[in-house]
Amino acid sequence: MRSGRITLVVVAALIVIVVAGGGVYLATHHGAKKMAATPTPVVATNSVSIQNYMFSPAEITVKVGTSVTWTNHDSVGHTITGDNVDELSSTIIEHGKTYTHTFNKVGSYTYHCSPHPYMKGTVIVTQ
Ligand SMILES: [Cu+2]
């Protein structure tokens, strides 16, 4: 009777250890999974800088209805020109000037600079 009670206590203790161990494993596993879920950071901003003949960030993600503003910090003028769609078509943005466009449709908008076509950027518009 007495040894049976001790066995019960030992078994109960083992269950606690196993459950606690499993919890630690799950927490570690969950943490690792969470880290892996964000390999490339999604830049959520509505401001893009134009500097050194580059758009920065080159790729942004915004919610539909967001107004995105580009600011030119270069001494030369640049444009925001859509690659395939007429969605984006700024005139020359001079030094220190801005261009703002509101995105009202979900989609991926790639653009470039008309005088410098190697300057490329993307605006991803989500619901
Ligand atoms: Cu340019």
pLDDT at 44: 77
119 alpha carbon – ligand 1 mean position (Å): 6
84 alpha carbon – ligand 1 mean position (Å): 18
Distance CA 7, CA 29 (A): 32
Across the chain, mean pLDDT equals: 79
Distance CA 119, CA 124 (A): 17
Identify the residue with better confidence: 21 or 70. Answer: 70
Express each pLDDT in 15-69 by its tens digit. Answer: 343 444 444 444 444 444 445 555 555 577 899 999 999 999 999 999 999 999 9
42 alpha carbon – ligand 1 mean position (Å): 24
| Residue partners of 107: CB distance under 8 A and separation at least 6 | 124, 125
3 alpha carbon – ligand 1 mean position (Å): 85
DSSP string for 25-92: HHHHHHHHHHHHT-SS-----SEEEEETTEEESSEEEEETT-EEEEEE-SSS-B--EESSSTT-B---
99 alpha carbon – ligand 1 mean position (Å): 13
Report the relative pairing of strands 81-82 and 107-112 from DSSP bridges: antiparallel
Q: Which two tokens stand for residue 45?
A: 């901003």
